[in-house]
Structure 1
Amino acid sequence: MSQKQINRYVVIQKSLEGLLTVKEAAKVLGLSERQVIRLRKGVMQSGVSALIHKNKGRKPSHAVSDELKGKIISLKLSDNYKNANFKHFNELLERFHGIKLSYSTIYNILNSTGIKSPKKRRRFKPHTRRKRKPQMGLLVQMDSSPFDWLGIGCNYSIHGAIDDATGKVLGLYMTKNECLQGYFEVARFMLENFGIPASIYSDRHAIFLSTKASKLSIEDQLEGKVCNDTQFSRAMRELGITIITAHSPQAKGRVERLW
Structure 2
Amino acid sequence: MNLFRGKYQGFNIRHFHEHLITEEKFTISETSLRRLLRRRHIASPKAQRRTKRAIKKELEEQNHRRELSQREKKQLIALEEVDPLKVHPTKPRARYVGELIQMDASCHNWFGENEEKATLHAAIDDNSGTLVGMHFEEQETLHGYYQILNQILTQYGVPAKFLTDRRTVFDYQKRAGSPTTENPLTQFGYACQQLGVALEVTSIPQAKGRVERLFETLQSRLVSEFKLHNIHTIEEANQFLIGFVKQFNQQFASPIQDNMGVFEARPTAARIDQILATVAERTVSKGNTIRFANRYYQTHNETDVVFLPPKTKMMVIQRLSNKLYATAPDGTVYALVEVPKVAAYSAEFDLTAPVPKASGVRHIPAANHPWRLANYRDYLVSTGFKYLSANRIVYQDEWVPNAKQKSKKNLAQNVKTF
Q: TM-score range by the shorter chain?
A: 0.3 to 0.5
TM-score (norm 1): 0.44
TM-score (norm 2): 0.27
Q: Of Structure 1 and Structure 2, which has the larger fraction of its residues in helix?
A: 1
Q: Of Structure 1 and Structure 2, which has the larger fraction of its residues in strand?
A: 2
